[in-house]
Amino acid sequence: MPQLDTSTWFINIVSMILTLFIVFQLKISKHSYPTHPEAKTTKMTKHLTPWESKWTKIYSPLSLPQQ
């Protein structure tokens, strides 16, 4: 059975990583980012729902009395 030749694996992996790095750098450099980003002001709105004003109790089906 022939031996697997792994002598070219290192250069293949290094060249692949380098190529991916260059491709991603080119893709990122084409984006235009705003020069002065500003924070948006968000208003907190309070929604009043009936279950917020009172306590509710959740019963487990196993803790209910037997019928």
Cα 31 from Cα 24, distance rounded (Å): 11
Q: Is the pLDDT of residue 25 over 90?
A: yes
Cα 15 from Cα 17, distance rounded (Å): 5
Kindly state the average pLDDT of the residues 27-53: 76
Per-residue model confidence (pLDDT) at position 31: 85
Query: Is the pTM of the predicted complex or chain greater than 0.75?
Result: no
Kindly state the average pLDDT of the residues 9-26: 96
The CA angle 31-34-39, to the nearest 5 degrees, is 135
The CA angle 5-16-11, to the nearest 5 degrees, is 40
